[in-house]
């Protein structure tokens, strides 16, 4: 057996072998939260190459809201594979694209006629939303917010409000992108709106601003929730100055917040909505849905892409929408989130290491702090590692890397949800952060 054959054989069965080859074959800029090498997954469970089982509280970063390999989604994908996998919608139209666009037009909140463009990634959705806003308004400036995350392409890095690790060393970035204050971390709604008006006075004429883009819940920023009154005030400010409002629903969408879309909690209508992650159950797909006259502003050929709106992704997304409706996953998100938050609050009563707990639906965040109440990124990394050793996948986020975010599939069985919660408690006990496991 040659060296290459031995290496391939080892990688098929040995996580350490895969990790060793990864160090030589894959750039270090691609980070991994855990050291797990996945072999298979089903619903809310993952198994590594050695057969170790993990409860999944990450869902592929809020992607598999319907669980890993949901039977309905899998069947839809297999049926599509038997027909065709790619023709490019820029060449040959197919019904799946049109059917999904029609479904999303009806689902996105608002009474205005809607149209939808399908693309491949969340960053691509945001890029196209900016393009559409600029061509529709004839303006060029865009306002985003502190601690925002919108992607890793050049424009989306410019919009992202966090330098390390997303922007450090990658500039210069596209011009005419400005950042206002997000209403979190001690900033009120009034102060956040005032910071936009300050931008109008100091940096950019409001008449030059094409769009303001905002997440209803900041994902990478730490699961800080935009207050409903802030989104209402933002809508009014945009209307006052003829600015388009873009809602980035990439992480918050598709039932995760206890509504189909996060901004439904504020009762507002966005001009453009970007979507990805939970849209297609793990298949690469993203979308921009917006007011029809805005979406039609670009000339034919101005929008598109070779892989945009993959027929396989469209088939998966249509099945995902059916599953969300038929299994009541929007309502289930609220029950899941309430259960996690309640248990973490009980744990906080016994540990000074837990700071703020916040949630919207099943988007739940728990801050970890030191004895002086300061952000503790090192403790956060230790907890993720300890939880992994005990069979639980956790993710962190936040501007100071001290936030645990809970993102289980919305289809997780309640006994597995409780199992994951108990692992968190046991990890706290093993780390000496509580006297005894609360949920044993």
What residue has token string 């994951």? 420
Asked whether residue 182 is domain-assigned, the answer is: yes
Q: Are residues 130 and 245 in the same domain?
A: yes
Q: Are residues 53 and 122 in the same domain?
A: no
Q: What six digits make up the tokens of 195?
A: 């910071």
Q: Are residues 132 and 250 in the same domain?
A: yes
Q: Are residues 277 and 412 in the same domain?
A: no
Contact 213, 142 (CB under 8 A): yes
Distances (CA, A) of 173 to 17, 158, 160, 170, 221: 38, 6, 11, 8, 20
Residue 142 bridge partners (DSSP): 177, 211
Distances (CA, A) of 268 to 213, 247, 272: 14, 10, 12
Q: Are residues 104 and 245 in the same domain?
A: yes
Q: Are residues 242 and 197 in the same domain?
A: yes
Q: Are residues 237 and 379 in the same domain?
A: no
At residue 436, the pLDDT reads 67
Asked whether residue 370 is domain-assigned, the answer is: yes
Mean pLDDT of 68-88: 98
Reported as a pLDDT band with limits 50, 70 and 90, residue 88 is very high
Asked whether residue 435 is domain-assigned, the answer is: no
Asked whether residue 438 is domain-assigned, the answer is: no
- Return the C-alpha torsion angle 50, 51, 53, 57, nearest 10: 60
% of residues, the chain, pLDDT over 90 = 95
Residue 173 has pLDDT above 50, yes or no: yes
Residue 42 has pLDDT above 90, yes or no: yes
pTM for this entry:
0.95
At residue 269, the pLDDT reads 98
Mean pLDDT of 303-324: 97
Asked whether residue 3 is domain-assigned, the answer is: no
Nearest Cα to 90, choosing from 117, 65, 64? 117
Task: Write down which residue in 326, 353, 386 finishes a domain.
Answer: 326
Q: At what angle do helices 228-241 and 189-202 cross, to 10 degrees?
A: 30
Mean pLDDT of 197-210: 98
What CATH number corresponds to the domain at position 85? 3.40.640.10
Contact 397, 365 (CB under 8 A): yes
Strand 114-119 to 141-145 pairing: unpaired
Q: Are residues 167 and 310 in the same domain?
A: yes
Q: What six digits make up the tokens of 129?
A: 């939303």
Residue 54 bridge partners (DSSP): 46
Residue 1 has pLDDT above 60, yes or no: no
Cis peptide before 165 (omega within 30 of 0): yes
Task: Write down which residue in 326, 354, 386 finishes a domain.
Answer: 326
Q: Are residues 333 and 320 in the same domain?
A: no
Q: Are residues 81 and 202 in the same domain?
A: yes
Domain range spanning residue 141? 73-326
Nearest Cα to 354, choosing from 374, 341, 369? 369
Map the chain to HEC letters. Answer: CCHHHHHHHHHHHCHHHHHHHHHHHCCCCCCCCCCCCEEEEEECEEEECCCCEEEECCHHHHCCCCCECCHHHHHHHHHHHCCCCCCCCCCCCCHHHHHHHHHHHHHCCCCCCEEEEEECCHHHHHHHHHHHHHHHHCCCEEEEECCCCCCCCHHHHHHCCCCCCCCCCCCCCCCCEEEECCCCCCCCHHHHHHHHHHHHHHCCCHHHEEEEEECCEECCCCCEECCHHHHHHHHHHHHHHCCEEEEECCCCCCCCCCCCCHHHHHCCCCCEEEECHHHCCCCCCEEEEEEHHHHCCCCCCCCCCCCCCCHHHHHHHHHHHHHHHHCCHHHHHHHHHHHHHHHHHHHHCCCCCEEEEEEECCEEEEEEECCCCCECHHHHHHHHHHHHHCCEECEEECCCCCEEEECCCCCCCHHHHHHHHHHHHHHHHHCCCCCCCCCC
Asked whether residue 259 is domain-assigned, the answer is: yes
What CATH number corresponds to the domain at position 59? 3.90.1150.10
Residue 440 has pLDDT above 70, yes or no: no
Identify the helix (H) or strand (E) that includes residue 143. Answer: strand 141-145
Residue 63 has pLDDT above 50, yes or no: yes
Torsion-angle region of residue 304: left (phi > 0), alpha (psi -120 to 50) or beta? Answer: left
Asked whether residue 26 is domain-assigned, the answer is: no
Residue 189 has pLDDT above 70, yes or no: yes
Sign, CA torsion 152/359/100/117: negative
Q: Are residues 333 and 322 in the same domain?
A: no
Mean pLDDT of 155-176: 94
Asked whether residue 36 is domain-assigned, the answer is: yes
Mean pLDDT of 168-172: 93
Mean pLDDT of 266-288: 98
Residue 439 has pLDDT above 80, yes or no: no
If one counts the domains in the chain, the total is 2
Nearest Cα to 126, choosing from 10, 215, 233? 215
Task: Write down which residue in 276, 294, 326 finishes a domain.
Answer: 326
Reported as a pLDDT band with limits 50, 70 and 90, residue 12 is confident
Question: What are the phi and psi torsion angles at 261 (to 5°)?
Answer: -130, 145
Q: Could you report the per-residue pLDDT of 318-337, keeping only the tens digit for each? A: 999 999 999 999 999 999 99
Question: What are the phi and psi torsion angles at 159 (to 5°)?
Answer: -75, -30
Distances (CA, A) of 303 to 100, 249, 344: 17, 20, 45
Q: Are residues 318 and 379 in the same domain?
A: no
Residue 9 has pLDDT above 90, yes or no: no
């Amino acid at each position: 057996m040659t060296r290459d054959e031995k290496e391939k054989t080892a990688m098929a069965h040995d996580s350490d072998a895969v990790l060793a080859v990864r160090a030589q074959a894959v750039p270090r800029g691609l980070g991994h939260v855990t050291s797990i090498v996945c072999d298979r997954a089903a619903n809310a469970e993952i198994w590594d190459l050695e057969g170790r089982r993990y409860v999944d509280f990450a869902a592929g970063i809020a992607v598999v809201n319907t669980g890993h390999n949901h039977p309905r989604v899998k069947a839809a994908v297999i049926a599509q594979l038997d027909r065709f996998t790619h023709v490019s919608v820029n060449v040959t139209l197919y019904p799946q694209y049109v059917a999904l666009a029609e479904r999303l037009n009806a689902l996105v909140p608002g009474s205005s006629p809607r149209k939808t463009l399908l693309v491949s990634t969340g960053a691509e959705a945001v890029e196209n939303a900016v393009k559409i806003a600029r061509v529709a308004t004839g303006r060029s400036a865009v306002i985003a917010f502190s601690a925002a995350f919108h992607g890793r392409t050049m424009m989306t890095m410019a919009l992202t409000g966090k330098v390390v690790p997303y922007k450090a060393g990658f500039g210069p970035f596209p011009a005419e992108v400005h950042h206002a204050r997000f209403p979190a971390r001690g900033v009120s709604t009034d102060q956040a709106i005032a910071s936009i008006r300050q931008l109008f006075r100091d940096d950019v004429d409001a008449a030059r601003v094409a769009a303001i883009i905002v997440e209803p819940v900041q994902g990478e920023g730490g699961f800080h929730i935009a207050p409903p009154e802030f989104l209402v005030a933002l809508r009014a400010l945009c209307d006052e100055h003829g600015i388009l409002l873009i809602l980035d629903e990439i992480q918050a969408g598709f039932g995760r917040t206890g509504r189909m879309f996060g901004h439904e909690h504020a009762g507002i209508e966005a001009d453009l909505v970007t979507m990805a992650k939970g849209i297609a159950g793990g298949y690469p797909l993203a979308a921009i849905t917006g007011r029809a006259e805005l979406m039609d502003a670009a000339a034919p050929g101005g929008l598109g892409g070779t892989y945009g709106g993959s027929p396989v992704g469209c088939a998966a997304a249509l099945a995902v929408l059916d599953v969300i409706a038929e299994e009541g996953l929007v309502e289930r998100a609220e029950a899941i989130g309430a259960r996690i938050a309640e248990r973490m609050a009980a744990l906080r009563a016994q540990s000074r290491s837990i700071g703020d707990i916040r949630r919207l639906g099943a988007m739940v965040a728990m801050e970890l702090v030191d004895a002086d109440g300061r952000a503790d990124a090192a403790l956060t990394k230790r907890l993720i590692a300890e939880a992994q050793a005990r069979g639980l996948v956790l993710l962190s986020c936040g501007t100071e890397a001290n936030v645990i975010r809970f993102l289980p599939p919305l289809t997780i069985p309640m006994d597995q949800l409780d199992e994951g919660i108990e692992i968190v408690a046991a990890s706290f006990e093993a780390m000496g952060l509580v006297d005894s496991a609360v949920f044993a």
